[in-house]
């Protein structure tokens, strides 16, 4: 069999725009991914468990209205700048730009025009779909017209590859990510019990009371933030009532293992690789009970986000990796989500090599 890519109408947005659903099925039919043209949202990822049972393992909604009405960024592309910008402003080449302040006193996920709430133009090429959006100069206060293309490709070995590319007409900060919420037990089970997590990073970014990074790059050793050894999330929540909502630092722009997740009951696994210098691990503390697919209620700790990205507020932190894109340059980053099944012996063997 060959891979299959289909496109159909998913629904209609409040502004009357038709929202399409693109379905990617690999040649082995062992995985299926659905992408929406609204928000470039990952609306479904269906993969097998240890018994071959196929289940959807990302949070989402039945219709366009569900995605429009929520403010949890479920499944969508985040930009221009993921995470927070201090005091809603930055300076580039002597010019200060003031942004939407949507998480007082800071800008969160690009302001009121986050890319998870805009319409993207799709282009299908075999087993992959590319979605393009043009962010006009001045949108949410950002300089330059920014053209972004996100490409999703599902491989025969159940890997979802996400390529990000962007160009600009004027110097602008950029930090793109996807905000999918994963639950390897199935999107509707309601919690992250039985989930083991490893993030092999030696440093993380502490935050202040407003969840803004302080500028310090702190070692994880000896702190509850240490994820270099496997942790059972349900146990860590007893120690950290707010869960995880922190950026882990890798620094380099080479492909490397960012995270490993394992669900011991179903034995589903997720390995995340990326060229991005960091990952924001978020365990869904602010999930406030929206009703999602199949009537599922998404409460606190229902999903895990692994948002590969640059460091937050980099445009205001000179010692952080650069996030300013200039005309004539091309922003490129790639993340790979590799789904599989591992029994306990295989899992322990794998983590011993990390």
- Which amino acids are annotated catalytic? 179, 307
Pairing mode of beta strands 89-92, 121-125: unpaired
Residue 173 CA to residue 311 CA, distance in Å, equals 12
Residue 22 CA to residue 43 CA, distance in Å, equals 10
Q: According to the annotation, is 84 in a ligand binding site?
A: yes
Q: According to the annotation, is 195 in a ligand binding site?
A: no
Residue 191 CA to residue 189 CA, distance in Å, equals 6
Residue 306 CA to residue 281 CA, distance in Å, equals 5
Q: According to the annotation, is 218 in a ligand binding site?
A: no
Q: Report the SS3 class of residue 105.
A: coil
**Do the beta carbons of residue 84 and residue 213 sit within 8 Å?**
yes
Residues 6+ apart with CB under 8 A from 164: 148, 149, 150, 176, 331, 332, 333, 334
Q: According to the annotation, is 326 in a ligand binding site?
A: no
Q: According to the annotation, is 152 in a ligand binding site?
A: no
Q: According to the annotation, is 332 in a ligand binding site?
A: no
Taking residue 329's Cβ as centre, other Cβ atoms within 10 Å add up to 13
Residue 313 CA to residue 326 CA, distance in Å, equals 18
Taking residue 343's Cβ as centre, other Cβ atoms within 10 Å add up to 11
Give the 3-state secondary structure percentages of the chain, helix then strand then coil, rounded to 5.
10, 40, 50
User: Which pair of structure tokens corresponds to residue 211?
Assistant: 């969840």
Known binding-site residues for beta-D-galactose equal: 83-84, 179-181, 245
| Known binding-site residue numbers | 83-84, 179-181, 245
């Amino acid at each position: 069999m060959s891979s299959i890519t289909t496109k159909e109408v998913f629904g209609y947005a409040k502004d009357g725009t038709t929202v399409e659903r693109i379905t990617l099925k690999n040649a082995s039919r062992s995985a299926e991914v659905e992408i929406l043209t609204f928000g470039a949202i990952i609306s479904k990822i269906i993969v097998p468990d240890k018994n071959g049972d196929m289940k959807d393992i990302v949070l989402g909604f039945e219709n366009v209205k569900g995605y429009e009405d929520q403010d949890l960024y479920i499944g969508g592309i985040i930009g221009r700048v993921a995470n927070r910008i201090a005091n809603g402003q930055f300076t580039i080449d002597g010019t200060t730009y003031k942004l939407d302040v949507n998480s007082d006193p800071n800008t969160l996920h690009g302001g009121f025009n986050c890319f998870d709430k805009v319409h993207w133009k799709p282009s299908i090429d075999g087993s992959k779909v590319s979605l393009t959006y043009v962010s006009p100069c001045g949108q949410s206060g950002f300089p330059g017209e920014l053209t972004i293309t996100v490409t999703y490709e599902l491989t025969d070995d159940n890997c979802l590859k996400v390529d990000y590319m962007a160009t600009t007409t004027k110097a602008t900060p950029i930090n793109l990510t996807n905000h999918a919420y994963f639950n390897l037990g199935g999107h509707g089970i309601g919690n992250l019990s039985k989930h083991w997590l490893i993030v092999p990073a030696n440093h993380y970014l502490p935050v202040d009371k407003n969840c803004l990074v302080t500028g310090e790059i702190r070692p994880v050793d000896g702190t509850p933030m240490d994820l270099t050894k496997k942790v059972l999330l349900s146990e860590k929540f007893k120690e950290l009532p707010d869960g995880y909502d922190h950026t882990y630092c890798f620094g380099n722009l080479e492909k490397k293992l960012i995270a490993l997740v394992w669900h011991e009951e179903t034995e589903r696994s997720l390995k995340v690789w990326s060229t991005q210098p960091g990952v924001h691990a978020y365990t869904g503390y602010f999930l406030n009970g929206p009703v999602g697919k199949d009537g599922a209620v998404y409460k606190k700790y229902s999903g895990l986000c692994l948002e590969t990205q640059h460091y937050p507020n980099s445009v205001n932190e000179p010692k952080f990796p650069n996030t300013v894109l200039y005309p004539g340059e091309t922003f490129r980053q790639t993340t790979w989500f590799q789904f599989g099944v591992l029994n306990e012996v295989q899992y322990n063997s794998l983590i011993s090599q990390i």
